[in-house]
Amino acid sequence: MKIVAALIMLVLLGGTVATAQWKKGDERIPDTPDRKSVSGFGAHLLIVENPRAFIEEWQKPETPKINPVSEVKRGVLVGAFVLFAGCKPDPQGLCNSEVDYTAYKPDGTIYAEGKQQPLWKEAAPPAGIIQLSRAILGMSMEPNDPKGDYKVKAKVTDLNAQISFELETKFRLH
């Protein structure tokens, strides 16, 4: 296993945002294992190839093209990202949200993890705006890594609102 900068911190300040999408029209979209919301705080976990390119795409003024992957080849760098909306600001207008990432091998043992990483600890994004988390989990799938289904979990926590929930997704290594 090779964890590439186990957690790549996004140092890009003030990135482009996308409009909130946990609603379709005025109706709330049902929760799924990789996308949930509680009391207005929502998050979506996804896996992408080439995390740097994804960050660059997110920074563009246009709505970003998001292409999550479910199948990964050896030697490919992947990143687990959390998109979120609705973090509660403190009296100074700052969010205080964290993410715990854990990736599991096909046998259920831990492959990579990063705990208490910054989801967002800055000024609260405008209401209804989806933002890219500051921390991601970057992984490079090596030749000796076992093939099969890898599970990735992200526990997202809004410390100001005292809300926490877990997201889960998976990808298959060939």
Sign of CA dihedral 88, 91, 92, 93: positive
| Residue pLDDT, tens place only, 78-88 | 999 999 999 99
pLDDT of res. 17: 42
Per CATH, is 7-173 categorized as 3.40.50.720? no
Amino acid at 66: I
- Token pair belonging to 27: 């109706």
How far, CA to CA in Å, does 46 sit from each of 5, 74, 124, 161, 162? 18, 19, 22, 23, 23
Report the percent of the chain where pLDDT is more than 70.
87
Q: Tokens for 42? A: 């929502």
Longest dimension (CA), the chain: 50
What's the pLDDT at 8? Answer: 35
| Angstrom distance (rounded) from CA 163 to CA 81 | 19
